[in-house]
Structure 1
Amino acid sequence: MTEASDDRTRPGGRTARTRNAVHTAVRALFGEGRDTISVREVSERSGIHEVTIYRRWKTIEALVLDVAVTHLNEESPFPDTGDLRADLLAWARSVAGQVSTHEGFALYRALAAAGSALDNPGVSPRREEAATYLRKRTDQIQRAIDHNAAGLSRPPTVAEVFDIVLAPIYLRAIFGYQHPDEALDVLVDRLLGDH
Structure 2
Amino acid sequence: MAESDRGGQVRPGGRTARNRTAVHDAVRGLLAEGRDPVTVREVSERSGVSEVTIYRRWGTVESLMLDVAITQLTEEAPFPDTGDLRRDLLDWVSGVAASVKSPEGFALYRALAAATSPLGGNHSDQARADAAMYLRRRTDQMQAVFDRAAAAAGTTPPSVARVFDLVLAPVYLRAIFGYDAPDADLAELVDRALGDG
Normalised to the residue count of structure 2, the TM-score between the two structures is: 0.90
1:154 corresponds to:
156
Coordinate RMSD, CA, aligned: 2.0
Checking the alignment, whether the CA contact within 8 Å between 1:79 and 1:91 is kept in structure 2 is: yes
Ranked by relative contact order (alpha carbons within 8 Å, sequence separation 6 or more), the top structure is 1
CA contact (8 A) 2:60 2:122 kept: no
Q: Aligned AA for 1:154?
A: T
Q: Is the 8 A contact 2:60 2:123 kept in 1?
A: no
> How big is the shift at 1:183?
0.9
Residue pairs, 1:40-119, within 5 angstroms: 40-117=41-118
Change in Cα spacing, 1:180 to 1:133, as seen in structure 2 (3 Å) is: same
Distance 1:189 1:147, change over 3 A: same
Show the counterpart of 2:4: 5
Q: Distance in 2 between matches of 1:68 and 1:145?
A: 24
Which residue matches 1:134?
A: 135
- Give the Cα separation in 2 of the matches to 1:5 and 1:89: 42
Write out per-residue CA displacement over residues 15-42 of structure 1, whole angstroms, 9 at most, x where no aligned residue: 1000000000000111111220111110
Q: Would the aligned equivalents of 1:117 and 1:124 in 2 still touch at CA under 8 Å?
A: no
Moved over 6 A (4+): none
| Equivalent residue, structure 1, for 2:25 | 24
Q: CA deviation at 1:194?
A: 5.4
Q: Answer whether contact 1:77 1:140 (CA < 8 A) is retained.
A: no
The separation in 1 between residues aligned to 2:73 and 2:81, in whole angstroms, is 16
3-state SS of 2:194 partner: helix
In structure 2, C-alpha distance between the alignment counterparts of 1:34 and 1:26, rounded to whole Å: 9
Quick check: 34-43 or 144-153, which moved more? Answer: 144-153
> Which amino acid is the alignment partner of residue 6 of structure 1?
D
Q: Which whole-Å CA distance do the structure 2 matches of 1:72 and 1:98 have between them?
A: 11
Identity among equivalent pairs (%): 65
Give the CA deviation at 1:143.
1.1
**2:181 partner letter:** H
User: CA shift at 1:166, angstroms?
Assistant: 0.4
1:9 shift after superposition: 2.0
Alpha-carbon contact 1:117-1:127 (below 8 Å) kept: no
CA distance in 2, matches of 1:117, 1:19: 27
1:103-130 Cα shifts (integer Å, max 9, x gaps): 0000000000001039x9x952100110
CA distance in 1, matches of 2:139, 2:35: 30
Shift of 1:153: 4.1
The whole-number CA distance in structure 2 between the counterparts of 1:169 and 1:137 is 18
Gaps of 5+ in 2: none
Moved more, 136-145 or 57-66: 136-145
Aligned residue type for 2:187:
D
Q: TM-score, normalised by structure 1?
A: 0.91
